[in-house]
Amino acid sequence: MSIDTLILIVIVIYSIILHEIAHGYIAKLCGDKTAERAGRLTLNPIPHIDIFGSVILPVIAVLSGWGVFGWAKGVPVNPYNLNTRFKEFAVSAAGIATNLLIATLFLLLIKFGVFPNIYNELFIRIAIINIGLGFFNLLPIPPFDGMQILRSIFPSLKHRYQFIEYNPMLMIIMVLFAGYIFSLFYSDLITFILNIFF
């Protein structure tokens, strides 16, 4: 494995971890300390890593040219502690918002030349990975955050399609299907966002 590929995998793993920590931290701010008690508000990758979602799928995605996406073990949240739809929305959207904020930060560092140009290639990789993770998780398909956001806005969807999330085989099928769909517009999405900044 080349050093470039290794760096890419490390960036993917920590971008996913920050995504999950954001869910847990916002849940804590909203009154639910479940994630904190479970030891999930940590940068230590071990409690977060899901072998398929955090390692196998991102590697397959990168090597196949599908883009960059994946997930970590879901942060435990007790919905009974989130007593408003706004809190449910905030927790559901926190991971996506974190990835997009990370991408924005590193694109701005490049744009304004805060660091020497030798870092630009690394920064652009970090930005592109986080754009991919953010928008991939925005897909309104279970088990992604996009579906949880819809459920927070439309309570009638709360118990819809949950059978998919409890069936590992269906989950893998849905993720691969979503990955294929995402790959169809991933390059155009990246080009569009980079054009906004540069």
Report yes or no: 77 and 23 within 8 Å, Cβ to Cβ: yes
| Interior angle at CA 55, CA 186 and CA 103, nearest 5 | 45
pLDDT for 65 equals 64
The mean pLDDT of 119-148, rounded to a whole number, is 91
Count of C-beta atoms within a 10 Å radius of residue 156? 7
Q: Choosing from 20, 88, 121, 165, which is the catalytic residue?
A: 20
Is 134 a residue whose pLDDT tops 90?
A: yes
Average pLDDT, the chain: 87
Nearest to residue 17, comparing CAs of 36, 40, 34?
Answer: 40
Check residue 76 and report its DSSP letter.
P
Cα distance between residue 15 and residue 69, in whole Å:
10
Say which residue, 141 or 97, is predicted with more confidence: 97
Tokens of 169: 């085989």
Tokens 């977060």, residue? 48
pLDDT for 69 equals 62
Give yes or no: 20 in active site.
yes
How much is the pTM?
Answer: 0.87
Is 92 a residue whose pLDDT tops 80?
A: yes
pLDDT 10s digits, 25-63: 999 999 999 999 999 999 998 888 787 777 777 777 767
